[in-house]
Amino acid sequence: MNRKLSVLSVEDSNDDAEILRLELISAGYDVRFQQVETAQTFKMALEEGGWDIVLSDHRLPGFDSFRALEILKNLEIDIPFIIVSGMIGEEAAVAAMKSGAHDYIIKGNLGRLVAVIEREIREAENRKQRRVAEAALETAYQAAKKAIRARDEFLLMASHELRTPLTVLLLQLQAIKDTDVLEAKIREKTESAIRHSRALGELIDRLLAVSTITNRGLRLVFEEFDLVTLVDATVKRFSQRTNDHQSTILFDSSAQSICGAWDRMKVDQVLVNLLSNATKFGLGKPIEVKLKTETPNWVIFSVSDQGLGISPEDQLRILNPFEQALPSRNFGGLGISLFITKAYIESHNGALELKSSLNHGSVFSVKLPLFPPANL
C-alpha cells in the first residue's frame, strides 16, 4: 500500500516540480503535491496546513529559500525544509542550513532525495513527540505548583485558626495554675495541660514557618545583641521545660561576650530546634552546647549529643521538609524542624554542618557572620 506524503514545492519551473513529483511516486509514495512560486502563495499554503515537507528551490524571481525559511519560522510551523536546487553554492548552502534548512540536494542528483525526506520526517515526528511530552510535563508541573500553593495557604489559614483558641486556653490554664487554692493533683494535671498546649503551639509555629519559607519567603529583623547571653538564656529555659528527658545540657563558651547583629527570634529558634533534636535522639545522655568566634567576622555554635546518630544516607535527606532519619511513630514529630533550622541559618548567609555516625551521636554546627552582609 502506497505511503501518503503531502509535499509543498517552492519552484518556478513546472518541469522541475514534475520531476520531483514523479521521483516520489516511483519511490512508492501516494503524493499530494502543490507548487507555489511566491512568498504570498507559500504563506497561504502553509496556513492551510497538512504538509509533511517543503521542497524549495534556492532562488526564484523575487523570492528565495531564505525568505521561505523566514515565513516558516514566523508561522511557528515545524516541518522539514529541504532545498532542491541546481544553483546553490557551498556558502549559500551553509547559510541556509544555519537559517533552519534541514538539508540540501542538487537537482541533477536526486538519488538522496527519498532517504533525506524519510529521515527528516522521522526527526520531525520525534520533535513533535518531545513537544507533546514537554507540554504534558509542564502541565503536571504547573498543577503540582498550584496544589502546593493551595496546601501552603491551607496550612497558613489552619495554623492561624488553631493559634487563636490555643492562646486563650494557655492563658486560662496559666491563670488557674497561678491560683493558691489548687490541690496538688489538680496543679499537676494543670501543669501537664500547659506543657502539652505549649508543645501544640510550637508545632503550629513550625507549620507556619514551613509555609512562610516555601510560599512567602523569610523576612529578617536584625538587631545587635550578645550571642553568649542569648544562648545561655535559651539553654536554661529549654532545660527547665524538658527535665523529663533526663538530659543534662552543658554550655561552654570560649568568650564572655560575642556581639553581632542577627534576627534574635530566628537564632533562638535555631538553637531550640537543635536542642529538641538532641534531646529526642540523645538517649538521655549529656548534651553539649559550644560557642566560639572562628575569625573576627564569624561565630560558630554547636549542639552535640551522644545518642543514636544518623547514617550517611539519612544525612543527605533529613534537611528536606517532612523527612526523618527514624520512623515518626517511634519518636514523633513531622520532620520539619531541621528544614526550618537550615532555612533560618541560610537566610543569615550562614551554614549548617552535620557530623554524625550511627550509635555515636551527632554534632550540628552553625556558622554565622557577626554582621549581616550588605545584600541582606
Range(s) of the domain holding residue 153: 137-216
The answer on 38 and 79 residing in a single domain is yes
Residue 374 pLDDT grade (very low, low, confident, very high; cuts 50, 70, 90): low
Task: Give the tens place of pLDDT for each residue, 150-174.
Answer: 767 766 666 666 667 677 777 777 7
Residue predicted with more confidence, 210 or 36: 36
| Three-state SS at 183 | coil
The residues with which 10 forms a beta bridge, in sequence order, are 36, 56
Q: Over pLDDT 90: what percentage of the chain?
A: 45
CATH classification at residue 80: 3.40.50.2300
Can you give the pLDDT at residue 3?
Answer: 86
Residue closest to 363 by CA, chosen among 270, 243, 277: 277
Can you give the pLDDT at residue 202?
Answer: 66
Can you give the pLDDT at residue 171?
Answer: 77
The answer on 259 and 210 residing in a single domain is no
HSE-CB of 3 using CA atoms within 13 angstroms:
12
The answer on 355 and 239 residing in a single domain is yes
Is pLDDT above 80 for 238?
yes
**Cβ atoms within 10 A of the Cβ of 7, count?**
21
CB 349 within 8 A of CB 260: no
What does each C-alpha distance from 243 to 235, 275, 334 come to in angstroms?
Answer: 12, 13, 22
Task: Give the tens place of pLDDT for each residue, 266-286.
Answer: 999 999 999 988 988 888 899
Is pLDDT above 90 for 71?
yes
CA distance 171 to 74: 69
Last residue of a domain, one of 216, 249, 268: 216
Within a domain: 317? yes
Chain CA centroid to CA 279, Å? 32
Residue 330 pLDDT grade (very low, low, confident, very high; cuts 50, 70, 90): very low
Within a domain: 319? yes
Mind giving me the DSSP string for 259-299? EEEEEHHHHHHHHHHHHHHHHHHSTT--EEEEEEEEETTEE
Is pLDDT above 90 for 251?
yes
Within a domain: 296? yes
Residue closest to 237 by CA, chosen among 266, 272, 204, 205: 272
The answer on 306 and 196 residing in a single domain is no
Q: Three cell numbers at 65?
A: 529559500
Name the one residue in this structure whose C-alpha cell is 545561655.
232
> How does DSSP classify residue 361?
-
Can you give the pLDDT at residue 12?
Answer: 92
Can you give the pLDDT at residue 338?
Answer: 84
CB 278 within 8 A of CB 307: yes
CA distance 213 to 347: 10
CA distance 267 to 269: 5
Q: Three cell numbers at 147?
A: 496544589
Residue 332 pLDDT grade (very low, low, confident, very high; cuts 50, 70, 90): very low
The residues with which 366 forms a beta bridge, in sequence order, are 301, 352
The answer on 91 and 141 residing in a single domain is no
The answer on 166 and 35 residing in a single domain is no
CA distance 301 to 366: 5
pTM exceeding 0.85? no
Domains: count for the chain: 3
Can you give the pLDDT at residue 214?
Answer: 63
Can you give the pLDDT at residue 333?
Answer: 46
The answer on 355 and 228 residing in a single domain is yes
Task: Give the tens place of pLDDT for each residue, 178-221.
Answer: 776 667 767 777 777 777 776 677 666 666 666 666 655 677 88
Within a domain: 124? no
Residue predicted with more confidence, 298 or 321: 298
In degrees rounded to 5, what are phi and psi of residue 51? -90, 140
The answer on 148 and 286 residing in a single domain is no
The answer on 350 and 260 residing in a single domain is yes
CA distance 340 to 346: 10
